[in-house]
Amino acid sequence: MSNHDDAYRQLGELLNAAGLAEQALFLNWGFQPADGPALSAGDAQRQLLLQLIGDRPVNGRHILDVGCGRGGAAALIAEKWRPLSVTGVDLSSSNINFCRQRHRQPRLRFQLADACQLPQPDSSVDMVINIESSGAYPDLAAFYHQVWRVLKPGGDFFYCDIFARQTRDDVATALSHLGFIAINGWSIRQQVLAARRSTGEKVIERLQNARQPQHTEQDLAGLRNYFALPGTPIYQALERGEADYYCFHWQKPATELPLQPLPPALLSALSQRSQRLDQAVNGGNNAVFPLGKPQPDAALNLFALPYAGGGASIYRDWGSDGDWPEEWRFCAMQLAGRENRIDEPPQRRMESLVAELAQQIEPFSYRPWALLGCSLGCKVAFELARHFSRLNRPPRLLFLMACPAPDIAPARRISTSSDDEFCAEIRRLGGTPDSVLLDKEMMQTAGKALRADCALAEHYQAASNVRLAVPALLVLAEDDALVPVAAMLRWQQHLTASTTIKRVSGGHFFLRQQRASLQQWLVQALQQPPAPAPLSPGRWLPFGLPQTGAGMPLFCFHHAGGNAASWRQWLAPAKALGMQLCPLELPGRASRFTEHPRSDLSALLAELSAVLTPLCQQPYGLLGHSLGALLAFELAQRLPAATLQGIFVSGRRPPHHPTPPPLRHLMNDSELAQQLLGLEGTPTDVLQHQELLALFLPALRADFTLTEGYRWQQAERIRRLPLQAFCGDSDAEVSVATMNQWLAYGDGNSRLHCYPGGHFYLQQHRDALLLAMAGWLNLHQQCAPG
């Protein structure tokens, strides 16, 4: 008997004892409308199913409820509609036995089955429903494959559950990659929380009163968390927004297509679902943060990294005295292979360690945070800061102590030395007690982490031209025999933001003697208001800022993988028509090649809004092709509406139309290069030159991430836009019919302009397009109020 089945049997016993067996036919968390009267527990749970299905037709269809629990959802469907059949499947024999005895409606049956190995024939089901059970599945990808297999072409997949934020996005990407069409996706977190507040506690009270001797307080505590009642970790995670209760409606294409395999990176991300949810629920892994966990509502979380071989305990007394603000959290990170994680294998490569630690920090990187490192920990902190800077969520401060600059490799390699040679070198370096060095058994245990850290340092060396725009405070000791002053000062060539230098005495391990001063400097540095990021509109507008009297500014956005120069030949003809074209250059290409390309759409839009808002106080227009059309559309929601005269979109699916698979941003370099061979827009000399291609692909991959990961939020779109759409009549990427759907976002005067050509038809029809845009802008100005 599985633990899964035991848990449901125990729940059934408690429900029977409390007289709730008949009322508790649903095991979901319920849906309480914000503007309606308080619902009973059962009505709230019925409402959740009704909200999920909405107005989708059910009559005359074959329905499969995967993870049917006690059968409430399947029975409600059979009662409310006229389906041809409703089948409930569940892995718990207790649940299936209960369902077979309780629910005896015609057209309703129940099967004992594994969601990852469904017994239904191929293409036999019109609708699959899955409510709050996928978290128990060992292989989400296998479950999605089964849903695809059993659904008929055109069939619907309704799916809701609690997800960590990142997993929710991974699930959407995976289903899209497999070939499903996204119909809708929406959060009901607030309505679920309301249902938990109003109904859940009453159930627990009755269970408490009916408890039998074999049911302990621990059992009831587990049930409280199972029902996500107020005060439980899972309820608090939902309340904080660390976790989301999300509904999906996907559809299998009407035309039968082969199932697309998921790439290894996405399979790995799906396998981390439970770990990520546990992290969201518990506010971080206790093993990783043994001295104090980060808090999502803290004014600031500081993550501290130890020196080579050290554990979190070296920071035991930090963040606890009167100098440390109460609203901040000092979070010493425990690396694998030491102290409470002594049995875990330590990391030996920087990229692996950074990936592991970034996963722990990620939920807290949306609010102010900082990094502290000592010795080797400084290089780990530097790479973590680079990782989050690429995501546009950099730390507020790097506090770095006693470490050579990241481009300086260790002078000696000792990670593979014999035990005697290794111990002799560690003794020379200092910092490890003789009581440990002389005890072979202790060295065999503690020395594993130290050897791994040595290997980590030996295999890591940043390029001398790597730059990081994060404020830093460097602490060095004049008498440090291991890290010369010059090696520490060389950090300055890697740090382009403000950098402060402090000097202490005490040798390489001054951390122990100078804690009070170090913490005081740390607090002072963090209390300084963050320097505002330089607006530097010139970086974004390489052909110059708009000039007064030179024509109406038309801000132009290039296609995926392109750059501002693609509009160069448009500048003079546009000027002759009274328009001032202002092409924007995104990071990672042409004049901004040394910057990291952006793959976070919301962060990129925030940057663009900050640059353009001051320039859009007078009449202006927006023009974009492909990726640029998406940016123009989103910016039209953010920039001043009163002065927007026209938005011109070209060669891009409309906002509600998700990118169909295969998703290019998930391909490896060789697969992506192969895709480019069949597309226009990439010069042949780039595709045939491996070194040029390697320089070009990061920006292109980031651009595909922006477009393919885009999810339209209908509730936020309130503006009807002065929009005109343009397309090529033989565009293999975006059809004329698809482009025509853009007109739904227009203000009533919108139209589609179609020209001969494929996806990159623009250049051959430049003058005609400019005439059409100039004519529209003139018409719009004439019709504008006042």
Distance of CA 94 to the CA centre of its chain: 37
Question: Is the peptide bond preceding residue 662 cis, with omega within 30 degrees of 0?
Answer: yes
Q: Quick one: tokens of 703? A: 């651009």
Contact 765, 729 (CB under 8 A): no
The single-letter DSSP state of residue 720 is P
The SS3 call for residue 586 is coil
Alpha helices, DSSP H, located in 553-644: 571-576, 601-612, 627-636
CB 134: neighbour CB atoms within 10 A? 20
CB contact at 8 A, 296 and 365: no
Structure tokens at 72: 């409430």
Active site residue 498: no
| Residue with tokens 């245990």, as numbered in its chain | 445
Contact (CB, 8 A) for 586 and 560: no
Say how far apart CA 502 and CA 477 lie, in whole Å: 9
Query: Using CB atoms within 10 A of its CB, is residue 707 exposed (0-12), middle (13-18) or buried (19+)?
Result: buried
Residue 253 φ/ψ, nearest 5 degrees: -55, 145
Q: What is the CA radius of gyration of the chain?
A: 30
CA-based torsion, 619, 620, 621, 622: positive or negative: negative
Q: Which candidate in 375, 566, 626, 750 is catalytic?
A: 626
Distance CA(786)–CA(782), nearest Å, equals 9
Residues 392 and 607: their CA atoms lie apart, in Å, by: 10
| Alpha-carbon distances of 418 from 104, 369, 448, rounded to whole Å | 73, 41, 13
Q: Give, in degrees to the nearest 5, the angle at Cα 174 between 744 and 177.
A: 65
C-beta of residue 733 within 8 angstroms of C-beta of residue 760: no
CA distances from 310 to 412, 454, 475, 483 (A): 20, 12, 19, 18
Q: Indicate the Cα dihedral angle 46, 50, 53, 55, nearest 10°.
A: 160
Q: Show which residues are catalytic.
A: 626
